[in-house]
Amino acid sequence: MSVLKTVKRVTTHVLYEMKLKREKIAMLTAYDYSFARILDEAGIDVILVGDSASNVMAGYETTLPITLDNMIYHASSVVRGVKRALVIVDLPFGTYQGNSREALASAIRIMKETGAHGVKLEGGEQVAESVERILSAGIPVMGHLGLTPQAIHKFGTYVVRAKEEEEARKLMEDAALLEKLGIFALVLEKIPAKLAGEVTANLKIPVIGIGAGPQTDGQVLVLHDMLGINQEFSPRFLRRYHNLYAEIKGAVQTYINDIRTLNFPSEKEQY
């Protein structure tokens, strides 16, 4: 029987069981109550309150400007819309790197003020101390390796990561280290499918891919990209399931036209 058949609430343990039974994990981002509710009712397993909110909600070019207060606002809105999915929140840039005490304080704020179920952070060995300290408080941590957008100014571009042997080997080592420290799942972003397959096979924890091929234990996409709300972003890995930009624009244009032509409100739409 499918792991999900008997599950009222997705937990980190459920994801682990899904990996064991080779059931794929479906994850999407969300940043507000209304979308979170739709995703949850549709049966999504994990909702990530991603720092991609910095791009798709706030219009910044990178994920760097978003603050912990901003993330807490988005995450608490999402949590209010969710009954079943596991809700994970990105620790934003500057709230966990280089200072594990600050990392723990940031993670505690997220857990206390949002009601979310865990945090995600980017990086391997360089954030090991922060990961350990957050885990020591009983807060589930999801890792993120490969293309880590908070380090965009170090990389210089958003191209595929770990194509060269040395970077691939380092990524494998970081993944093994994070698992050893006790993270419950790992996101791999924009790396070769073969490498993602190897990491997935080597780890006991679930691995969720974005632009990392089909062999990972699950997939994640940014909601606004897969719904076609965000038109500017078209990487090869993105599948658009809708063209909401055009649909919403069309609806707004019809509304404007209805007002101008005295078609709205009609007799039925007044008191």
Residues between 19 and 38 that touch ligand KIV (CB under 6 A): 29
Distance (Å, rounded) from C-alpha 30 to C-alpha 223?
Answer: 6
Tell me whether residue 48 or residue 68 sits nearer to ligand KIV (CB atom): 48
Backbone angles phi, psi at 5, to 5 degrees: -60, -35
Check if 189 is active-site.
Answer: yes
Region near ligand KIV per CB under 6 A, out of 48-56, 67-75, 111-119, 253-261: 48-56
The structure tokens listed for 205 are: 């924890």
Distance (Å, rounded) from C-alpha 144 to C-alpha 166?
Answer: 18
Amino acid (one-letter) located at 52: S
Find tokens 């679930």 and name the residue. Answer: 206
Minimum CB separation from ligand KIV for residue 56, in Å?
Answer: 8
Residues 6+ apart with CB under 8 A from 64: 54, 93, 94, 150, 152, 153
Tell me whether residue 3 or residue 208 sits nearer to ligand KIV (CB atom): 208
Distance (Å, rounded) from C-alpha 29 to C-alpha 90?
Answer: 10
Chosen residue from 45, 90, 174, 217 binding ligand KIV by CB under 6 A? 90
Query: What are the distances in angstroms from CA 101 to CA 30, 70, 123, 141, 203?
Result: 28, 20, 17, 15, 28
50 belongs to the binding site for ligand KIV (CB under 6 A)? yes
Chosen residue from 39, 178, 195, 210 binding ligand KIV by CB under 6 A? 210
187 belongs to the binding site for ligand KIV (CB under 6 A)? yes
Residues between 111 and 170 that touch ligand KIV (CB under 6 A): none
| Helix or strand (DSSP H, E) at 187 | strand 185-189
> How does DSSP classify residue 115?
-
CA dihedral angle for residue 12, residue 38, residue 212, residue 232, rounded to 10 degrees:
-140
Tell me whether residue 214 or residue 250 sits nearer to ligand KIV (CB atom): 214
Tell me whether residue 100 or residue 148 sits nearer to ligand KIV (CB atom): 148
Q: Which residue is nearest to ligand KIV (CB)?
A: 50
Minimum CB separation from ligand KIV for residue 253, in Å?
Answer: 30
Q: Check 17, 23, 122, 189 and give the catalytic one.
A: 189
Minimum CB separation from ligand KIV for residue 132, in Å?
Answer: 21
**Annotated active-site positions, please?**
189
Which residues would be at the binding site for ligand KIV (CB under 6 A)? 29, 48, 50-52, 90, 187, 210, 220, 222
